[in-house]
Structure 1
Amino acid sequence: MARILIIEDSPINMELLTFLLANEGHELFLAERALPGIEIARQQPLDLILMDVTMPDVGGIEAAKMLRAHPNTRTVPLIAVTAMAMSGDKERIIAEGFDEYIAKPVDFAQLLEKVARFTGQSPSSDSDESQGT
């Protein structure tokens, strides 16, 4: 399955994303802040990065620019997983360097579909029962 980095500062959200994606068989790398996540991304060959936008220290928008500027991470698909869901937020976030956007609370079926689309894999049949929280 895919090698996915999750950069998420909320322990609850990290646990939910980890549980869901591990059940799909993905190999996961985890970071609670942007800078350690960027270091992981530069050192590990990844298929996808899921990243919160609003984090302490370095935010997701700035981190996306750093990822896009580095040769090892420039082309890794980057999906924002964020509570920023006001009108225009999705377009602004994508314009800042993200490839896709998922609003919190996460709809698990939507997350699995987008992960599958960006990694070229299909979600397992058991995940059809998964719904957002």
Structure 2
Amino acid sequence: MPKILLVEDNEMNRDMLSRRLLRRGYEVIIAVDGQQGVDLAGTSMPDLILMDMSLPVIDGWEATRRLKASDVTKKIPVIALTAHAMAGDREQALAAGCDDYDTKPIELDRLLPKIQRFLGSAAA
């Protein structure tokens, strides 16, 4: 069962997305701020990270930079999740080390193919 780390501070978004991923056969680990996301990534070694960019403690941009700078977590794919769908945001996410980018509100039909591209379609 592929393991996804969901780093999201909004309880409603976290609950909705985690339940939908669980129903599709993914194991979901949850972090509520950027620092907790970095820490959990290093200890739980998820197969993929869904990273909100607007987070408390450290934001998703910095959390991703730290993950990609670490030999332990640098190969874990990170998909940025952001409500900031402005010109240049995708490029900024990729420059921070994210492997892909998706906008909020989350549309599972749009996000799932991105997840499956990194994990294969085993759980889908």
TM-score bucket of the superposed structures, by smaller chain: over 0.9
Match of 1:68 in 2: 68
> How far apart are the structure 2 equivalents of 1:87 and 1:35?
27
1:46 aligns with 2:25: no
Deviation of 1:20 after TM superposition, in Å, equals 1.1
Matches within 5 A, 1:1-133: 1-121=1-121, 124=124
Unaligned runs of 5+ in 1: 125-133
Deviation of 1:95 after TM superposition, in Å, equals 1.2
Q: Which amino acid aligns with 2:30?
A: L
> How far apart are the structure 2 equivalents of 1:21 and 1:48?
12
**Rg bigger for which structure?**
1
Over 3 Å counting, the alpha-carbon distance change for 1:112 and 1:19 in structure 2 is same
What RMSD over aligned residues (CA atoms) do the two structures have, in Å?
1.2
TM-score by length of 1: 0.89
Structure 1 residue runs of 4+, over 3 Å off? none
Matched-pair contact (CA < 8 Å) for 2:65–2:97 = yes
Deviation of 1:107 after TM superposition, in Å, equals 1.2
Deviation of 1:45 after TM superposition, in Å, equals 2.3
Match of 1:128 in 2: none
Matched-pair contact (CA < 8 Å) for 1:84–1:103 = yes
> How far apart are the structure 1 equivalents of 2:115 and 2:9?
20
Q: Which amino acid aligns with 1:56?
A: P
- Count of residues paired in the alignment: 124
> How far apart are the structure 2 equivalents of 1:104 and 1:46?
22
